Structure formats: structure tokens, C-alpha cells
Amino acid sequence: MSSIFNKKFTKILNMKEVSAEELKKILASNLKFLMLEKNLNITQLSKQIKIPRTTINAWLNCKILMKVDYLYKLSLFFDVPTDFFFNIL
């Protein structure tokens, strides 16, 4: 992962450095939290926001990072600011 990527998210997370793997875990944890709050499973979320179930599953299993447009779509759906996903719960 490039250092530009890490610097961008370091500022958001208010940390010295965050690896891509750590970032995936933070994003997954926050998405799981929101899904529990709304009592949604992967299939239900996929249908409601029109993002493939396999993509959501990959996020939750820390396989891939969210693209910015998906992050924005999730923030609108859950009615949270995009930076919510970068908070350590």
C-alpha cells in the first residue's frame, strides 16, 4: 500500500500510521456495528443499497477495502458521516 494512502487515513484516524490490514478491520468492525443496530444481514443490506453481497462479505471478512463511492453510499444509508467508518469503536 502506498504511503500516500496511509497518510490520508492517518489524519482521519488521528494515529501515526495505519496499515491497510488494520484499516480493513476498523471498517469491517464499524459496518458490523451498524448492521447490528439496524438488524440487517448481508443479503438484506445488499438488496437495500444495491451493492453485491459478495462485496459486502469481502469487507466484513477484511478481504478488500471499501471504495470511496461505496463508503459514501453506506454513510447515506446508515445516516452517519463517512468518517464514522474510520473510528475505532
The strand ranges marked E within the chain are none
Listed as ranges, residues in the chain with pLDDT below 70 are 1-16, 89
pLDDT of residue 1: 40
Range 21-86 has CATH code 3.40.50.880: no
Domain ranges of the chain: 21-86
pTM: 0.80
pLDDT of residue 41: 98
Return the ∠ at Cα 80 (arms to 36 and 37), rounded to 5°.
15
pLDDT of residue 12: 52
User: CA-to-CA distance for 64 and 23, rounded, in angstroms?
Assistant: 10
User: CA-to-CA distance for 22 and 58, rounded, in angstroms?
Assistant: 15
